[in-house]
Amino acid sequence: MFEAEISASKLQDTVSKIDALVDECKVHLNEDGLSVQAVDPASVGMVDVSLPKEDFAQYEADGELLGLNLVRFGEVVGMGNSGDTVALELNEETRKLRVKIGGLRYTLALIDPDSIHQEPTVPDLDNAEFDVVGEEIQTAVKAAGLVSDHMGLRHDHGSLEGFAEGDTDDVSVDMDTVDGRDIPDDEEASLFSLDYLDAMAKGLPKDSDVTVELGDDYPVKMTAELAEYGEMTYLLAPRIENE
Amino acid sequence: MFEAEISASKLQDTVSKIDALVDECKVHLNEDGLSVQAVDPASVGMVDVSLPKEDFAQYEADGELLGLNLVRFGEVVGMGNSGDTVALELNEETRKLRVKIGGLRYTLALIDPDSIHQEPTVPDLDNAEFDVVGEEIQTAVKAAGLVSDHMGLRHDHGSLEGFAEGDTDDVSVDMDTVDGRDIPDDEEASLFSLDYLDAMAKGLPKDSDVTVELGDDYPVKMTAELAEYGEMTYLLAPRIENE
Amino acid sequence: MFEAEISASKLQDTVSKIDALVDECKVHLNEDGLSVQAVDPASVGMVDVSLPKEDFAQYEADGELLGLNLVRFGEVVGMGNSGDTVALELNEETRKLRVKIGGLRYTLALIDPDSIHQEPTVPDLDNAEFDVVGEEIQTAVKAAGLVSDHMGLRHDHGSLEGFAEGDTDDVSVDMDTVDGRDIPDDEEASLFSLDYLDAMAKGLPKDSDVTVELGDDYPVKMTAELAEYGEMTYLLAPRIENE
């Protein structure tokens, strides 16, 4: 059985992290909480979200797996005001999810999980790590968008920089780092699609820390806290420089 | 002669109730106030608005009948700020309406009233009546729009509910009723076009009471106060269930 | 050499006055400040802006002339928040402008000044002058737009009025004048394209005084203060009444 209650704002926030990348996903309802791993149709970006039992007002699950239409689910949860509680209940027989917010009762048909894109495993990267406030990344992405459709991330002796080169103009943004770990002496840089970085940047928290793991022509990994006890990670494959 | 003065916000609000359904209307300027009855071109929805003399700062009329381009009139009145007063004066010879708001003087050409859709008479229905805060109806309409293009209203032993059935998903919303009258023992329900209900819901007051009169496969009537002394009613014909 | 620092909000505001009319302009960087004169491609409207050294936190120039892509420059400056400072530095060799806002460094390619539309000289008009708060002009322009695509300005014994005639409806707006000078006894009026007046009205300050110089079938000149020490002027050629 699956039954849970959670604040509408926590649930809305969680959905928005995932639907930045995908329209449908598999949701694992384990005993200790909910988790989602999803990769976009082009297999360029991944998202990994876990929301433990502690973030729910009430939570009971036995390892169920749901196929969820995120767009529709987000619309329903969006009917709630910030102070509202959302109650979720799975009907095993009809394979429908009952969503209850105040006097609103919504019966959501689920998707066959097998029809959804294979789930990725987010790898350990062992790269240089930097802690930055999310807004630093959002500003760099916005600035890069003035001149190009891709953006580089570079670290050099502890500094972290976003940069982009246009046909006539260039832009670079120094990001204020709060902390750093495992930083090699040599400069490293990777280039990314701005469409993906932009979607991910919007899903990152604006005012709190994001850990950025960066290598040389290597995927970037961005990890942040979700709700009070959860965690979210975006992983984005690099573009090859001479594309 | 027709001469009147009224606060811009009262007049804007009154116009918005009517232009939810029609672009043009006949305005009756009787000695004791202004009234409008209008039916939409498809004859599915009606609106009945009366704004008595007491809601005007000044009012003088002798039973004139105007044909009004509501869209244009609404734009002109919308030039006023909330604290402004709108002065109206009919020029009988030119058949133009002089609108004055502060230093702004607008001369509005009237429409031949005979060219406007026949006025309806809003019937007495003798049905079950429920008082609900307008926002309850607005929420139900929004929720129904997630799954369908029509919405049902149902009462059952004193409860009032909006509901909609989509291809895969269903939704229902319990509405908090403040009061009720003439409620039969048997459940009654009627189905309505969501386009019309949505337009009407936007015209209803959000924070104050609306009286909903509901029958079985029967028109719904929604009545609310307008300004301080006026009244407004929407009437909507039902859709037949097996359409 | 050209090097300067100025608050982001002052620079954003200055750019918005000019890009109301043109996408590119020549910028004169004289020892005592910056100035721009530009005429729109149809040679109907002119803008003249001067921002003296005193409005900058730091300013050094030797009479340089830049060709500026205003749209792009406005986007870059718009990356700054209101409390930010923008640092500008011209690289004489590459003919690129370095823009620095916090950690953001943008290298903007300049345009060949010779490729930009010839600069106008804003003439002295010797006409009747009225001081009005900018919002009065904005209201008149908005009202005229309800009925026409052009608007007249008329003065008559010290009063100033905007007016427009549509196919069926007319509108006129009395403007509150704060002061007036050199006002002839006879009425004078001129007719203008509303597209231009609308763009210029948006560039005028809403809450402070604008000096309007008006003649008979003659250009209108509108002058206002810019930042703390600067000045801006719009000049608009009249339309001929029987166009």
Sort out which chain B residues have CB atoms less than 8 A from C176's CB and list them.
103
Sort out which chain B residues have CB atoms less than 8 A from A109's CB and list them.
168-169
Residue C117's pLDDT is: 85
Sort out which chain B residues have CB atoms less than 8 A from A24's CB and list them.
none
Alpha carbon distance A96, A88 (integer Å): 10
* CB of B164 closer than 8 Å to CB of B152: yes
pLDDT, mean over chain C: 95
Q: Which residue has the higher pLDDT, B160 or A120?
A: B160
Residue C243's pLDDT is: 45
Residue A14 has pLDDT above 80, yes or no: yes
CB within 8 Å of C94: residues ≥ 6 apart: none
> How confident is the model over C180-198, as a mean pLDDT?
96
Domain C3-113 has CATH 3.30.420.40: no
A160 beta partners: A155, A175
Structure confidence by residue, pLDDT tens digits, A149-178: 999 999 998 899 999 999 999 999 999 999
* Span(s) in chain B for CATH 3.10.150.10: 3-114
Residue A240 has pLDDT above 80, yes or no: no
* CB of C146 closer than 8 Å to CB of B75: yes
B106, C143: Cβ pair inside 8 Å? yes
C104, A143: Cβ pair inside 8 Å? yes
* Span(s) in chain C for CATH 3.70.10.10: 128-236
* CB of B190 closer than 8 Å to CB of B238: yes
* Span(s) in chain C for CATH 3.10.150.10: 3-113
C171, B104: Cβ pair inside 8 Å? yes
Residue A124's pLDDT is: 84
**Which segments in chain B show pLDDT lower than 50?**
243
Instruction: Report how many Cβ contacts below 8 Å link chain A to chain B.
Output: 34
Instruction: Report how many Cβ contacts below 8 Å link chain B to chain C.
Output: 34
Find the residue in C nearest to A159 (Cα): C103
Pick the range with the lowest mean pLDDT from A119-128, B96-105, C49-58, C100-109.
A119-128
From A130's Cα to the closest Cα of chain B, the distance in A is: 42
Residue A82's pLDDT is: 83
Residue B243's pLDDT is: 45
> How confident is the model over C140-166, as a mean pLDDT?
96
Interface pTM, i.e. ipTM:
0.90
B143, A106: Cβ pair inside 8 Å? yes
Residue A182 has pLDDT above 60, yes or no: yes
Alpha carbon distance B83, A209 (integer Å): 47
A146, C105: Cβ pair inside 8 Å? no
B72, C176: Cβ pair inside 8 Å? no
Sort out which chain A residues have CB atoms less than 8 A from C109's CB and list them.
168-169
* CB of A159 closer than 8 Å to CB of A173: no
Residue C241's pLDDT is: 59
From C173's Cα to the closest Cα of chain B, the distance in A is: 4
Residue C242 has pLDDT above 70, yes or no: no
* CB of A210 closer than 8 Å to CB of A132: yes
Structure confidence by residue, pLDDT tens digits, A26-57: 999 999 999 999 999 999 999 999 999 999 99
Residue C221 has pLDDT above 70, yes or no: yes
Q: What is the dihedral of CA B23, B28, B29, B33, to 10 degrees?
A: -100
Question: How many residues does the structure list for chain A?
Answer: 243
Residue C240 has pLDDT above 80, yes or no: no
Buried/exposed B192-224: b ≥16 CB within 10 Å, e otherwise: bbbebbbbbbebbbeeebbbbbbbeeebbbbbb
Find the residue in A nearest to B138 (Cα): A79
Look-up: residue for tokens 């640092």? Answer: C87
What is the fold of A128-236? Proliferating Cell Nuclear Antigen (3.70.10)
Residue B117's pLDDT is: 85
A176, C103: Cβ pair inside 8 Å? yes
Sort out which chain B residues have CB atoms less than 8 A from A106's CB and list them.
143, 146, 169-171
Measured at the CA of B108, the angle between CA B106 and CA B111, to 5 degrees, comes to 175
CATH classification number, A3-115, choose in 3.20.20.70, 3.30.420.40, 3.70.10.10, 3.40.50.300: 3.70.10.10
Q: How far is CA B137 from CA A100, B151, B209, B240, in A?
A: 17, 11, 11, 21
CB within 8 Å of A100: residues ≥ 6 apart: A86, A87, A88, A89, A106
Domain B3-114 has CATH 1.10.1060.10: no
Best of B105, B110, B111, B112 to mutate (most C CBs within 10 Å, chain C)? B105
B39 beta partners: B46
Alpha carbon distance B122, B119 (integer Å): 9
Residue B118's pLDDT is: 84
* CB of A73 closer than 8 Å to CB of A110: no
Find the residue in A nearest to B142 (Cα): A79
Find the residue in C nearest to B81 (Cα): C139
